[in-house]
Amino acid sequence: MTQTKKYDFRVVADGATWTGQITRRQTARKIVVSKSKKGFATEAEAQAWGETELKSFLENLIKRNERKAKARGERNEAAEAKELAADAWRNARPSKESGFDEDNLDYESDSEG
């Protein structure tokens, strides 16, 4: 299996002008253009734009992933704390010998009558 970059750039000729494109490999066979800019006079200009934009695009992507990972960690910690509090509450409740059965919503006092 070949190793390819997920993000890359390419330069495409549009008649007399050039277009720079930031591409993303979506699947093994499909490539999607994430960002593009048209109207470059030379191929070198489009190439330079592609290189600089790819760097900034990847930096922004890394920052975004870090923010999302931090938020996910905070969510997981909050969910864990909530679950621990729920477990503590369940353990502090009276036991089933008190006359209440969660599975059978009948009360002992109701069945005696």
Answer whether residue 95 is part of any domain. no
pLDDT digits (tens, 9 = 90+) for 15-71: 899 999 999 999 989 999 999 999 999 999 999 999 999 999 999 999 999 999 999
Give the residue among 12, 16, 15, 10 at the shortest CA–CA distance from 50. 10
Distances (CA, A) of 23 to 28, 32, 41, 50, 64: 13, 6, 21, 10, 18
**Domain containing residue 37:** 7-89
Whether 99 shows a pLDDT value over 60: the answer reads: no
Better pLDDT: 98 or 35: 35
pLDDT for position 5: 87
Answer whether residue 80 is part of any domain. yes
Answer whether residue 98 is part of any domain. no
Mean pLDDT of 79-106: 77
pLDDT digits (tens, 9 = 90+) for 73-88: 999 999 999 999 999 9
Which residue's entry shows tokens 């002992």?
108
Answer whether residue 56 is part of any domain. yes
Number of domains in the chain: 1
Answer whether residue 101 is part of any domain. no
Q: Which two tokens stand for residue 67?
A: 């923010």
Confidence of residue 94 (pLDDT cuts 50, 70, 90): confident
pLDDT for position 34: 93
Answer whether residue 105 is part of any domain. no
Number of other CB atoms surrounding residue 17 within 10 Å:
14
pLDDT for position 69: 96
Answer whether residue 94 is part of any domain. no
Burial (0-12, 13-18, 19+ Cβ within 10 Å), 70: exposed
